[in-house]
């Protein structure tokens, strides 16, 4: 069994589809998405439709979809269970609503609720806050380094940046996270690995095979996938206490 973890997508459906179609997925594999499927990019609706279709088609491998701060903002904007809906439109939400066929004069929560398919709303409302697998913890933004898992708030899991990135933590996990775009994968082992490599900003989409320690990456607007072994990053000195 192999386990793959995918960073932030932000409406870039073409690169997402090419990446997933290239992965050597086999029976009992697991594919974890770290959230931020929508906003800023050209086709947020297309990304969600593709992920839902993938979910329907996959009988052999498991899919796990985490919530990002952008999905949380959308839900709040729509009057559903989320936070910071007042920030949705100015954080790329206009591109998301446009992908559902809305024009600028129709950017409103009631219009959006009518335009977004029920299946998509069900997808957004079913997203997980975090996901653990053995020594890895998958989460969108990170964790508060001084809290237990049970104490983590949505604000921590979906929004935290510097307090997590620049500090170690005491949890028995290597945290795999997105949210904060980097020019390249961020390694701070054994504590964390950042997988948001700024696809929507013209850089790349990243997927990590956590078992084989291999990166699969595709640059924005390209078709080829780069496969890179990063096994050397995991050495005996990078073991959790």
Determine how β-strand 204-209 pairs with β-strand 214-219.
Answer: antiparallel
For residues 69 and 140, give the distance between their C-alpha atoms in angstroms, rounded to a whole number: 8
Domain carrying residue 223: 3-139+170-238
Query: In residues, how long is the chain?
Result: 241
pLDDT single digits (tens) 24-76: 999 999 999 999 999 999 999 999 999 999 998 887 889 999 999 999 999 99
> Does residue 159 sit within a domain?
no
What percentage of the chain exceeds 90 in pLDDT? 91
Q: Given this model, what pLDDT does residue 237 score?
A: 53
> Does residue 32 sit within a domain?
yes
Number of domains in the chain: 1
> Does residue 49 sit within a domain?
yes
> Does residue 82 sit within a domain?
yes
For residues 168 and 78, give the distance between their C-alpha atoms in angstroms, rounded to a whole number: 36
CATH number at residue 60: 3.60.21.10
> Does residue 84 sit within a domain?
yes
pLDDT single digits (tens) 112-146: 999 999 999 999 999 999 999 999 999 999 999 99
Sheet holding 136-139, edge to edge: 130-133, 136-139, 174-177, 192-194, 186-188
> Does residue 148 sit within a domain?
no
- pTM here is 0.96
Above 70 in pLDDT, residue 106?
yes
> Does residue 174 sit within a domain?
yes
What is the CB neighbour count within 10 angstroms for residue 241? 5
Position 241 confidence tier, pLDDT thresholds 50, 70, 90: low
> Does residue 183 sit within a domain?
yes
Helix/strand/coil (H, E, C) string of 116-165? Answer: CCHHHHHHHHCCECEEEECCEEEECCCCCCCCCHHHCCHHHHHHCCHHHH
Q: Given this model, what pLDDT does residue 145 score?
A: 96
């Amino acid at each position: 069994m192999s386990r793959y973890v995918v960073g932030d997508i932000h409406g870039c459906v073409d690169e997402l589809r090419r990446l997933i179609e290239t992965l050597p997925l086999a029976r009992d594999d697991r594919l974890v998405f770290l959230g931020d499927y929508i906003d800023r990019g050209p086709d947020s609706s297309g990304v969600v439709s593709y992920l839902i279709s993938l979910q329907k088609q996959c009988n052999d491998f498991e899919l796990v979809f985490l919530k990002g701060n952008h999905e949380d903002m959308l839900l709040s904007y729509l009057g559903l269970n989320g936070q910071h809906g007042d920030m949705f439109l100015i954080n790329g939400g206009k591109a998301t609503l446009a992908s559902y066929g809305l024009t600028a004069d129709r950017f409103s929560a009631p219009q959006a609720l009518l335009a977004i398919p029920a299946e998509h709303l069900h997808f957004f409302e079913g997203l997980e806050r975090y996901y653990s697998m053995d020594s890895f913890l998958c989460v969108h933004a990170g964790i508060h380094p001084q809290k237990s898992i049970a104490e983590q708030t949505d604000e921590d899991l979906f929004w935290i940046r510097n307090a997590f990135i620049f500090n170690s933590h005491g949890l028995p996990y290597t945290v795999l996270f997105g949210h904060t775009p980097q020019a390249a994968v961020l390694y701070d082992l054994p504590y964390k690995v950042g997988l948001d490599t700024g696809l929507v900003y013209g850089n790349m989409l990243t997927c990590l095979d956590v078992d084989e320690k291999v990166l699969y990456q595709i640059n924005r607007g390209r078709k080829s996938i780069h496969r890179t072994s990063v096994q050397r990053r995991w050495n005996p000195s990078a073991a959790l206490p």
